Structure 1
Amino acid sequence: MTNSQALQVQAYHTCDVTEQVRATPGWHQHYRQMSPGLFSGHLRCLGLDGVEVYEERLNTRVEQFFRAPSGSLAFCFDQSDHSLYLLNEQSRNIWITPENYQEVAVVFDQAFLARHGVDPQRLEGLFMVPLGSGQNALFGSWLSAMLTRLGQADCRLQSQALAEQLLEDCLFILDNACQRLQGGALGRRDEERAIMRRVSQWAADCPEDTLNLVELADVAGVSLRQLQQAFKGFTGMPPGQWLRMRRLNGARRDLLVGEGVTVAEVAMRWSFWHLGRFSESYRQLFKEFPSETIRRRGRASV
């Protein structure tokens, strides 16, 4: 029998959404800050043989576009509405978290799934659908407590036994989960989800592009009214605000990494033609002026 071993939990505290993305290697991700405030993110990770456990906390609203690592199957437990979401590498969607968001996820890699006879293709139709179960909240809390316990130096467990237990527990919860939306509401939700999937496809393929509302509706293949309804249901904000937030986040990224760029150059690159309004909008979202971001970048490089 394998001897027990101390399992190492890695913990990160981040001060920018780009740092949060870098803390989770292997995922294809884009994060954008979508509500005002100084960003604060926390991430805890536990690596087992073929299994990763993550806990993520975000204080501001964050737009997340993500795909799970190639060949993997992810069970994501949303602690805000106690829903389970299944993801694989084909799952592409835009999701805007609420403020003070917490999620715990268990990710099984392709080899581990194959060894245990789990075929993700048999779960088609369940990906990115909110699945409700009475066990979701309890299991999510247990995962968080497990990471805390394993973060203590004297806690020792068998890695293989824990990985197999996590798979058994996740499949049991999935088996007992039910879709929350039914009937006509489910049909409307599916239609809105398809609209947002087309928007997220464009957002992923063209991260540097900017569009107006009419052009975005053309991308989605729907009327402007249908686009507005889909955004209201899935992001909690109108599409015009989403486009503006997207441009502000693009500008921040350029200010943080661009050598020798000026505020005016970055503002025009992201279609902000009034420099004063751009600076004030930027300050309202990120709690610092664009010039302060440039100075902070300069100090960090010294």
Structure 2
Amino acid sequence: MTTCNPLQVQAFNTADVAEQIRATPGWVQHYQQMSPGHFAGRIRYLDLQGVEVYEEQMNTRVEQNFSAPSGALAFCFDRSDNALYLLNEESRNIWITPENYQEIAVVFGPEFVRRNGLDVARLEGLFMAPLNGAQNALFSRWLSSTLTKLSQAPDQPSKETLTQQLLEDCLFILDNARVCLDNDGLQRRTQERQTMKRVGEWAADSPEETLNLLELAQVAGVSLRQLQQTFKAYTGLSPTQWLRLRRLNSARRELLNRSSHETTVAEVAMNWSFWHLGRFSNSYRTLFNELPSETLKRACR
């Protein structure tokens, strides 16, 4: 008689965007906090050996620059708009979550994708497009409750049974969501996504580089007006706001990685083009709910 290993749901509470990234290994990710307050996040994770389920929650707005693990196919259900987003390693993108964001994702690993004959090439044009369907909200609620039940109940399905159900459900939901596509809206969204992809690639490849607004438009390959319209539609922020928040996040990372023996708040502020120390401190405290001097002291412990 063989015994099966129980399904174990791991849970992690996080207090910083960097901790949130570390709780989801295998993804290429860069997070930045984009709204005020102490960050509080939570990750629940289920490993089905070839298929993984992630549930992510974050209280503040967060800029996510990410791509899925190499060879994987990810079905990400955004519970803020009940849309399905399809990702692979090529769908590297940038977007900003709303506050109190919740997402649940099913990630089919590369070996599982090959073994089950999932033709990723046929999905071209669907990656990172908002795919809406009546089943999205129902499925994401069911999957979240399943994680809760698995962490509590001794009576559990086998890994094979649950894995097969996840595959069948995700493919069924994808087929139904494709029927609901708004082609005009999808084309506009695709153009916005391409613009933000170029911005995101620059931000990920040059995290410590600063640009002005005209230089950012050149990076994006669009006019300044198009850049402003895209940012408003895609992130709810102006490019100027985004650049400023990005510099504040970079200053925070430097403060966390240095000691008071190595640097000062003033030096860090000027490194990131904040020339008025009082305004920098106020902006920093508004965003992160602590003074930069407090961050620097905390980093020394």
Check whether TM > 0.5. Answer: yes
CA RMSD, 1 decimal:
1.5
Instruction: Report the TM-score when normalising by structure 1.
Output: 0.95
1:159 — aligned with what? 159
2:297 — aligned with what? 295
Q: Secondary structure at the match of 2:42?
A: strand
Answer whether contact 1:130 1:179 (CA < 8 A) is retained: no
1:237 — aligned with what? 237
Q: Which runs of 5+ in 2 are unaligned?
A: none
2:57 — aligned with what? 57
Residue type of the partner of 2:243?
L
2:128 — aligned with what? 128
Residue type of the partner of 2:241?
Q
| 1:184 to 1:73, Cα distance in 2 relative to 1, 3 A | closer
Answer whether contact 1:40 1:60 (CA < 8 A) is retained: yes
With 39-48 and 150-159 compared, the bigger mean Cα shift is at 150-159
Residue type of the partner of 2:38?
L
Answer whether contact 2:258 2:300 (CA < 8 A) is retained: no
Answer whether contact 1:27 1:68 (CA < 8 A) is retained: yes
1:195 — aligned with what? 195
| 1:118 to 1:21, Cα distance in 2 relative to 1, 3 A | same
In the alignment, does 2:266 pair up with 1:264?
yes
2:37 — aligned with what? 37
Distance (whole Å) between structure 2 residues aligned to residue 149 and residue 214 of structure 1? 52
Distance (whole Å) between structure 1 residues aligned to residue 137 and residue 122 of structure 2? 25
Distance (whole Å) between structure 1 residues aligned to residue 184 and residue 69 of structure 2? 34
Deviation of 1:116 (Å)? 1.1
2:285 — aligned with what? 283
Q: Secondary structure at the match of 1:156?
A: coil
Deviation of 1:180 (Å)? 5.8
Paired residue total: 299
Distance (whole Å) between structure 2 residues aligned to residue 229 and residue 132 of structure 1? 23
Q: Secondary structure at the match of 2:300?
A: helix
2:275 — aligned with what? 273
Deviation of 1:120 (Å)? 1.3
| 1:2 to 1:232, Cα distance in 2 relative to 1, 3 A | farther
Deviation of 1:182 (Å)? 2.7
Distance (whole Å) between structure 1 residues aligned to residue 107 and residue 7 of structure 2? 17
Deviations 1:228-274 (A, max 9, x none): 00000000010000000000001111111123322112111111111
Answer whether contact 1:227 1:239 (CA < 8 A) is retained: yes
Structure 1 residue runs of 4 or more that deviate by more than 6 Å after TM superposition: none
Answer whether contact 1:78 1:84 (CA < 8 A) is retained: yes
Q: Secondary structure at the match of 1:6?
A: coil
Deviation of 1:178 (Å)? 3.0
Q: Secondary structure at the match of 1:157?
A: coil
| Mapping for residues 203-214 of structure 1, pairs under 5 Å | 203-214=203-214
Answer whether contact 1:69 1:88 (CA < 8 A) is retained: yes
Answer whether contact 1:32 1:64 (CA < 8 A) is retained: yes
| 1:126 to 1:187, Cα distance in 2 relative to 1, 3 A | closer
Q: Secondary structure at the match of 2:24?
A: coil
| Mapping for residues 144-183 of structure 1, pairs under 5 Å | 144-152=144-152, 154-178=154-178, 182-183=182-183
| Mapping for residues 35-114 of structure 1, pairs under 5 Å | 35-114=35-114
Distance (whole Å) between structure 2 residues aligned to residue 181 and residue 98 of structure 1? 23
Q: Which runs of 5+ in 1 are unaligned?
A: none
Q: Secondary structure at the match of 2:211?
A: coil
Answer whether contact 1:248 1:282 (CA < 8 A) is retained: yes
Deviation of 1:4 (Å)? 4.4
Distance (whole Å) between structure 2 residues aligned to residue 155 and residue 247 of structure 1? 50
Q: Secondary structure at the match of 1:240?
A: helix
Distance (whole Å) between structure 1 residues aligned to residue 127 and residue 179 of structure 2? 11
